[in-house]
Amino acid sequence: MVPSVAAVCDVTASRLPGARRSQGERRGWDRGPGPAPLEVRTAGLGDPLVRPLLEGLAHEYRDVLGHPAEAVSRELTEHPPSDFEAPTGCLLLLLDRGEPVAGGAYRRFDGPGPAGVAVAELKRVWTAPSHRRRGLARRVLAELEQRAATAGYERVHLTTGVHQHAAQALYLTLGYARGQELLPGPGTSPVVAFGKALPAHDLARVPSGPRG
């Protein structure tokens, strides 16, 4: 289902005007008969194409889940942009005719976990409301998982709201294991953790050193 990834995220060249993107930086997802396939593109948090993702997440956290505005701002700015850049992180988008319709990211997980195991934390998973029920979240997660494995991670970790039952069901169908404990969330409701082992890894590619 997921094409192989030749390299971890590196978007420096793609930011240059007129630069040609490598196969690992720009790729089409085959949607079958009909319009042009979706394009997979890596980006930095400051890229204008990422704005719809951040604004969509802010709207969902604030207006759908009822999180306070301060908590939403804190959630979306708690990690520096460098956390989502190679070699330890990645942010990617699915584009439909150049417009972002879904996306997600990973960073090196700085929370508790198995000693000596390289864990990537999935963040910012989003699908535009007008493009839901197309399986885009599955595509984003599959792409993030494969890129994280290529980068040398052994496991992936994520959290979601305790009342976000659709998201929890999706993670379970994709092979994630649900944690037993409820954890403090960015708003008034707790979150639950999910984890999954990645099929292949190369520990030498994950830089060591302080996290956070």
95-152 pLDDT tens trace: 999 999 999 999 999 888 777 899 999 999 999 999 999 999 999 999 999 999 999 9
Taking alpha carbons only, the member of 176, 107, 185 closest to residue 148 is 107
Question: How many residues belong to the chain?
Answer: 212
C-beta of residue 127 within 8 angstroms of C-beta of residue 92: no
CATH architecture classification, 13-202: 3-Layer(aba) Sandwich (3.40)
pLDDT per position as a tens digit, 29-88 = 444 455 568 999 999 999 999 999 999 999 988 888 777 888 888 889 999 999 999 999
Q: Output DSSP code: residue 19.
A: P
pTM score, two decimals?
0.77
C-beta of residue 85 within 8 angstroms of C-beta of residue 50: no
Q: Sheet of 38-42: strands edge to edge?
A: 26-29, 38-42, 90-96, 99-108, 119-127, 155-161, 191-197, 177-183
Strands (E), 69-146: 90-96, 99-108, 119-127
Residue 104 forms beta bridges with which residues?
Answer: 92
- Listed by start position, the domains of the chain span 13-202
Q: What number of H helices and E strands is found in the chain?
A: 4, 8
Taking alpha carbons only, the member of 38, 47, 36 closest to residue 9 is 47
Cβ neighbors of 61 (< 8 A, separation 6 or more) are: 67, 71, 72, 75, 76, 186, 187
